[in-house]
Amino acid sequence: MRKIFRFMSVLCGMSLFALQALAQNPFVQTWCTSDPAPLAVGDRMYVYTGHDEDHADFFWMQEWRVYSSADMVNWTDHGSPLALESFSWADDRAWASQCIERNGKFYWYICAHSKLSNGMAIGVAVADSPEGPYRDAIGKPLYENGSWDHIDPTVFIDDDGQAWLYWGNPRVYCVKLNEDMVSLAGEVFNLEMTEEGFGAPDMTKRDREKKYKDCYTEGPWIMKKPQASLPPKGKGIRSGGKQKANSAKGTGGYYLLYAAGGVPEHLAYSEAPTPTGPWTYKGTIMPEGGTGSFTNHCGYERFKGHDYFFYHTGKLPGGGGFGRSVAVEEFTFNPDGTFPTILPTDEGVKPIGTLNPYTRVEAETMAFSKGVKSEWNDETGVYIADIHEGDYIKLQAVDFADKNPHVFKASVASALRGGSIEVRVDSLSGQVLTTLAVGHTGGWEKWQTLTADIKESVTGTHDLYFVFRARKGVKAMNFDWWCFE
């Protein structure tokens, strides 16, 4: 019996390693994140998210977070540059948001509970860089009237320069923005919600005896229908696990993506020739099920010639409907410009670049991790904490080129006994390049830069693993940055 038990344990361990080797979704593991809003800025993809509190029994959310990547697999945590405390009028429920750039400034549209009207309200913050810091742009809500409908803002700037803002549950509100992006250019109105446009009419007009094909629920995402493009040469692009050869031949128009069907939600979309309609229901993008969350919220962005669909799941350990986690899939539009069916995967997307290990790399840059958390302070910024025995950080597509490094360097801190960092390539049990010993440094934020000689030759592109070793049950160290020399 012991032999069978040991054999099964080995098999389970091998299966776990195999899953971890493939895993890319959810692409943030240090915190529960929700409602992803992507924004491509230069050579980086930024994603603005909500933050579900650990062990929450409702959508108790206090802040918004920012992550970015140059290669779509190694994501850098930029912390929380915006929170309820950023808005003097807000006191609860830091729910879904979206950020957009205009004239070199970044405008982050949020929703939160207002202590002025005792309802949900739309607000806007502004910054000079996508990472912040952000501040309340106007010192008051951009829109509120005491209703609880005012959630989940989405924003876009049309080709003629006109900016539009949408939001709402269980109906869609719409308004033009002035060029300053922080004032309304007209009256707020509701999009006409018909059976032809959204699968079902407005809730007040539905026939209780009739079964409708779908219905708008919440989480709108407005976008222009993409024009003709082709996928990058030599790149197979997955959509629901299938390969497609062509990208969109779009004819113009607008798409409104949204969470649909009530609870549990799936993701669907409608099309219109103008930003306000008339709308035509197009169908489901991501069917219900497979995410581990009874809500969903999507966003789309094209980045370096690739099309990406963002959504959230409940797949982190201990996650679920109130502990969500952002994920992403690469896809190709159908030849007529419509969305294909996109299925959630654990594998996620492939790298579209490599990571340079010979420059300072922040420890909070990672493709996948187990056990660790990110923390922040004014002096250090974001760093990795809560490190215990057996925890690890994985990076993908690390390009050592032909330089064959000789030294590994890292900035670490420990108030207790420390531990060590095994630097491995290709897998958790892969070749050990070196082991960095970490001792007591005088405190959890008393940083020391330590070095270790590289014992094995390494060239070319590899996955890189930092496997943490320490006495069981105790916190080992904090980790700020690393590099090879």
| Residue 239 counted as domain residue | yes
CA distance 103 to 214: 39
Does residue 248 have a pLDDT over 80? no
The per-residue pLDDT for range 417-426, each reduced to its tens digit, is 999 999 999 9
* Prior bond of 275 cis (ω within 30°): no
Per-residue pLDDT tens over the stretch 396-412 = 999 999 999 999 999 99
Query: What distances in angstroms separate CA 201 from CA 21, 191, 205, 271, 279, one per listed residue?
Result: 46, 11, 6, 16, 12
Question: What is the phi-psi region of residue 211: left when phi exceeds 0, alpha when psi lies from -120 to 50, beta otherwise?
Answer: beta
Domain assignment present for 347: no
Domain match, 59 and 132 both: yes
Same domain as 254, residue 383: no
Confidence of residue 55 (pLDDT cuts 50, 70, 90): confident
Q: Is residue 352 part of a domain?
A: no
Q: What is the pTM of this model?
A: 0.92
CATH value at residue 392: 2.60.120.260
Burial of 476 (0-12, 13-18, 19+ CB in 10 A): buried
Q: Whose CA is closest to 327, among 64, 61, 69, 33?
A: 33
Same domain? 36 vs 158 = yes
Q: What single-letter amino acid sits at 396?
A: Q
DSSP secondary structure string for all residues of 159-195: TTS-EEEEE-SSS-EEEEE-TTSSSBSS--EEPP--H
Rounded to an integer, what is the distance from CA 319 to the centroid of its chain? 15
Last residue of a domain, one of 311, 331, 351: 331
* Residue 102 pLDDT class (50, 70, 90 cuts): very high
Tokens standing for 474?
């105790």
Tokens 């012991």: give the residue: 2
279, 386: one domain: no
Whether 14 maps to a domain, the answer reads: no
CATH number at residue 228: 2.115.10.20
> What's the CA gap between 143 and 86, in Å, rounded?
17
pLDDT of residue 227: 74
Residue 326 located in a structural domain: yes
Q: How many domains does the chain have?
A: 2
413 and 326 in a common domain: no
Q: What is the DSSP secondary-structure string of 422-474? A: EEEESSTTS-EEEEEEE---SEEEEEEEEEEE--S---SEEEEEEEEE-STTS
**Cα–Cα distance, 387 to 219 (Å, whole number):** 35
Residues 375 and 467 grouped into a single domain:
yes
Torsion sign across C-alpha atoms 67, 70, 72, 73: negative
175 and 221 belong to one structural domain: yes
Average pLDDT on 39-43 reads: 98
Cα separations in angstroms, 138 against 49, 51, 98, 169, 225:
22, 24, 17, 24, 32
Mean pLDDT of 445-468: 97
Whether residue 313 is found in the same domain as residue 369: no
* 410 and 266 in a common domain: no
Among 313, 331, 349, give the residue marking a domain's end: 331
326 plus 365 within the same structural domain: no
Same domain, 291 and 422: no
Full residue range of the structural domain in which residue 385 is found:
361-484
pLDDT of 245 strictly over 80? no
- For residue 3, being part of any structural domain is answered with no
What pLDDT, on the 0 to 100 scale, is given for residue 7?
Answer: 36
- Of the residues 331, 350, 376, which one is the last residue of a structural domain? 331
Characterize the bridge pairing of strands 461-469 and 478-484: unpaired
What share of the chain has pLDDT > 70, as a percent?
Answer: 91
Q: State the Cα–Cα distance between residues 460 and 127, nearest whole angstrom.
A: 39
Residue 354 lies in a domain: no
One domain for residues 138 and 237: yes
Q: What are 184-240's pLDDT values in tens digits?
A: 999 999 999 999 999 999 999 999 999 999 999 999 999 999 875 445 444 333 334
Domain-located, residue 351: no
Amino acid identity for residue 17 in this structure: F
β-strand partners of 135: 126
* Nearest by Cα to 295 from 62, 73, 109, 50: 50
> From residue 300, how far is each of 191, 217, 311 by CA, in Å?
21, 18, 9
